[in-house]
């Protein structure tokens, strides 16, 4: 990979395109990067994300800064809903890696597809750490861009033999179930109550807002269920009912951020939030018993993006 042109005596900018990163990423790379990132949250600095909007308030983006002992970065994740009219994805991500010697940008990686793997990997890591070992039925709430990535990632860490797809648009739920079936999963559409009644693991991947009804009702969730929820990543978003957050054991990526912009913004003030990195490194307990209902609140942290970017560069045999 050749850096862009630069002035004499200054470093060039390494530019890795969306097509390159999409060809390199896979579930294994993303999962191992997630493990490394969450392990790094225990002893290193973890900076909260910032959710803002563009000139049109419907166009939203997040800034996710991060730093390790050797690298630092900022990920910019965008959501432009009208992109579909132009035949473009609504979501995109760009990672900026700093040159630690002079504070300038050393590399720019486009991570639109890779970000979907990254998000699913964090949810799957939570499943691996918190779900019952004998979990075989997965319910996915949501029929958009992210849902299929979630199913594939979770199916790597548990012996999933049935996938139930719930969506408020029933036609799209059926289409996603057909897609998953074509990819080798035993999948079918189901309504929310049926999905909860059968699921051992639930993943929520929607854009639901707090001013709309939650995706499910608390009594529908069976004892022993694990839920990974990733849709709430800004103030005012919500997927789960507050009653469930009051009774479940709550885990998250970064407690202070989860309280501000994750699902946990709707949890009781006295609810205990446990960082997933502490469970990963055995500093905190995970599931206590078979009847625990566990919830992982994934609002997204910059270390996930930093470690994913470094893993992609390593696969390309590029060092910064």
CATH number of the domain to which 25 belongs: 3.30.1780.10
Asked if 140 and 281 sit in the same domain, the reply is yes
Predicted local confidence at residue 11, as pLDDT: 61
Q: Which two tokens stand for residue 166?
A: 């719930």
Query: Do 287 and 148 reside in the same domain of the chain?
Result: yes
DSSP letter for 203, please. Answer: E
Q: Is 162 a domain residue?
A: yes
Question: What CATH number corresponds to the domain at position 286?
Answer: 3.40.50.720
Shared domain check, 127 and 78: no
Q: Answer yes or no: 75 catalytic.
A: yes
* Domain encompassing residue 141: 121-299
Cβ atoms of residues 196 and 202 within 8 Å? yes
Angle 115-119-124 (CA atoms, 0-180°, nearest 5)?
140
What's the pLDDT score for residue 46? 94
Count of structural domains within the chain: 2
What does the pLDDT read at residue 145? Answer: 87
pLDDT of residue 289: 87
- Whether pTM > 0.75 for this model: the answer is yes
Of 154, 240, 139, 235, give the one whose Cα is nearest residue 189: 139
Reading the chain (320 residues) residue by residue, the pLDDT tens digits are 344 444 444 468 999 999 999 999 999 999 999 999 999 999 989 999 999 999 999 999 999 999 999 999 999 999 999 999 999 999 999 999 999 999 999 999 999 999 999 999 999 999 999 999 999 999 999 999 899 999 999 999 999 999 999 999 999 999 999 999 999 999 999 999 999 999 999 999 999 999 999 999 999 999 999 999 999 998 999 999 999 999 999 999 999 999 999 999 999 999 999 999 999 999 999 999 889 999 999 999 999 999 999 999 999 999 88
Let me know if residue 320 belongs to a domain. Answer: no
> Which of these is catalytic: 75, 170, 314, 315?
75
């Amino acid at each position: 990979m050749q850096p862009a042109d630069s002035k004499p005596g200054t470093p060039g900018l390494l530019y890795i395109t969306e097509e390159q990163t999409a060809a390199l990423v896979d579930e294994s790379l993303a999962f191992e990067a997630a493990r490394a990132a969450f392990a790094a949250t225990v002893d290193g600095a973890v900076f909260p994300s910032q959710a803002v909007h563009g000139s049109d308030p419907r166009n939203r983006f997040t800034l996710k800064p991060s730093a390790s002992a050797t690298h630092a970065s900022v990920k910019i994740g965008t959501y432009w809903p009208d992109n579909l009219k132009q035949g473009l994805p609504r979501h995109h991500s760009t990672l900026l890696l700093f040159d630690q010697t002079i504070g300038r940008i050393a590399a720019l990686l486009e991570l639109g597809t890779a970000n979907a793997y990254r998000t699913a990997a964090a949810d799957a890591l939570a499943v691996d750490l918190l779900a019952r070992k004998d979990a075989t039925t997965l319910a996915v709430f949501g029929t958009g861009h992210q849902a299929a990535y979630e199913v594939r990632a979770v199916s790597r860490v548990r012996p999933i033999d049935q996938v139930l797809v719930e969506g408020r648009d029933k036609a799209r739920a059926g289409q996603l179930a057909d897609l998953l079936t074509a990819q080798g999963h035993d999948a079918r559409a189901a309504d929310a109550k049926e999905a909860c009644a059968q699921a051992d693991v639930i993943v929520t991947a929607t854009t639901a807002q707090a001013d709309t009804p939650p995706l499910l009702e608390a009594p529908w969730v069976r004892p022993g269920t694990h839920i990974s929820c990733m849709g709430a990543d800004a103030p005012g978003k919500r997927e789960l009912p507050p009653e469930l957050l009051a009774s479940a054991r709550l885990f998250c990526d970064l407690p202070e951020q989860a309280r501000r912009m994750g699902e946990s913004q709707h949890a009781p003030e006295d609810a205990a939030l446990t960082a997933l990195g502490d469970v990963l490194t055995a500093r905190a307990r995970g599931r206590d018993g078979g009847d625990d209902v566990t919830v992982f609140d994934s609002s997204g942290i910059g270390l996930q993006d930093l470690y994913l970017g470094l893993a992609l560069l390593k696969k390309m045999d590029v060092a910064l």
